[in-house]
Amino acid sequence: MQSTAATFDPKDFRRALGMFGTGVTIVTTRAENGEPVGITANSFNSVSLEPPMVLWSLAKNARSLPVFQSASTWNVHILSNEQEALSNRFARVGEDKFSGLPLDSEEAHAPLLQDCSARFKCKTAFQYDGGDHIIFVGEVTGYDANPHPPLLYVTGGYAMASRKASPVASEPAADTNTAYSENLIGYLMGRAHFQFLSGLRRPMAAYGMTDADFYVLSLLSIQQPQSPAEIASHMAYTGTDIGAVALQSLISKGWVEESRDRAESLQLTAQGNEAILHVLAAAKAVETDLIASLGEMEAATLRNLLKKAIAATDPGLPKLWQAKA
């Protein structure tokens, strides 16, 4: 381990510091002429509960430093995981960062941005020299928070917060001759999938709906009409044969019919639309219960990870929610 500052490589030191995950904030104030000023910062931290105090730091070469040094009040916004673009916007220089942004503050006060995970209204208490930064300590005069999962920054990129999960089951005994364990991603994704679908089985059974029926009706409820070839290409990931027999079964059940607007294509009938809406309502109820159990933060992380897993394993399937030309 390197022991003296003189031997530090600046890039390597920054990389090591980047292993510490932080939240992402935007700090705002107003210049003496009333112009709003804001900057992205991940140096925010709490100082004291009694009195309530927080701190953040700003580089000495920052163009906005003189404004913050002369400001008596400023606001800290902890960004939500949906505000990555806002973070990037306030990290850039040379543009009107507040253009078009709705604010929750009166003209005379430091700007308050909307839809953040938490916001702290502060008055300057102290300023300290911190090497190549100035450290601002402020007394909190007001705050609010909501359940939006916070945006994080770690190892040079944005991240999402998630609490560590408990084991699903006990690990195999040490002498078990298998590489199959509860940490196998395929097992975890597969089990989660089938346990989720178990909540849909009853309404599907009430309609006499098979898995193949559900896949096709769900597709057509999102994007229709579709040709048989298009349906098959969209459903390729399921491993289910969506061929002529399966499609004819849907027609016989009165759920699908030939499109009147597009030759050799299929669309939902009124009966088919009603059936799939009932089953999708059950799926939404299962999802609502899952989110209530996980919490908003874990649910947002789950969606993000599933999207990344889909992108990483996608063999080139058509994009379901991509608008047709």
Residue with the bigger pLDDT between 6 and 281: it is: 281
Please report, rounded to a whole number, the percentage of residues in the chain having pLDDT higher than 70: 90
CB 277 within 8 A of CB 271: no
Please say if the pLDDT value at position 7 is more than 50: yes
For position 1, what pLDDT does the model report?
46
For position 170, what pLDDT does the model report?
55
172-217 pLDDT, tens per residue?
555 555 666 777 888 889 889 999 999 899 999 999 999 999 999 9
304 pLDDT band, cuts 50/70/90, is confident
* Residues pairing with 134 in the sheet: 58, 129
Calculated CA dihedral for residues 200, 249, 275, 325, nearest 10 degrees: 100
33-49 pLDDT, tens per residue?
889 999 999 889 999 99
322 pLDDT band, cuts 50/70/90, is low
* AA identity, residue 117: S
For position 324, what pLDDT does the model report?
47
Residue whose structure tokens are 């030309």 = 325
How many Å is the Cα radius of gyration of the chain? 27
Please say if the pLDDT value at position 100 is more than 80: yes
112-124 pLDDT, tens per residue?
999 999 999 999 9
* AA identity, residue 249: S
Please say if the pLDDT value at position 30 is more than 90: yes
Segments making up each domain of the chain, as ranges: 11-160, 185-313
For position 325, what pLDDT does the model report?
43
Residue with the bigger pLDDT between 252 and 177: it is: 252
For position 237, what pLDDT does the model report?
86
Range among 235-244, 259-268, 315-324 rated most confident: 259-268
Question: Which letter, b or e, does each residue of 260-293 get, where b requires 16 or more Cβ atoms within 10 Å of its Cβ?
Answer: eeeeebbbbbeebbebbeebbebbeeeeeebeee
* Residues pairing with 73 in the sheet: 123
CATH superfamily of 11-160: Electron Transport, Fmn-binding Protein; Chain A (2.30.110.10)
**Tokens describing residue 303:** 């969606």
Classify domain 185-313 by CATH architecture. Answer: Orthogonal Bundle (1.10)
- Phi, psi dihedrals of residue 231, rounded to the nearest 5°: -60, -45
Kindly give, in sequence order, each residue whose CB lies less than 8 Å from that of residue 165, ignoring residues fewer than 6 positions away: none
61-97 pLDDT, tens per residue?
999 999 999 999 999 999 998 899 999 999 988 778 9
Count of CB atoms situated within 10 Å of the CB of 205: 10
Question: Which letter, b or e, does each residue of 105-123 get, where b requires 16 or more Cβ atoms within 10 Å of its Cβ?
Answer: beeeebbbbeebbbbbbbe
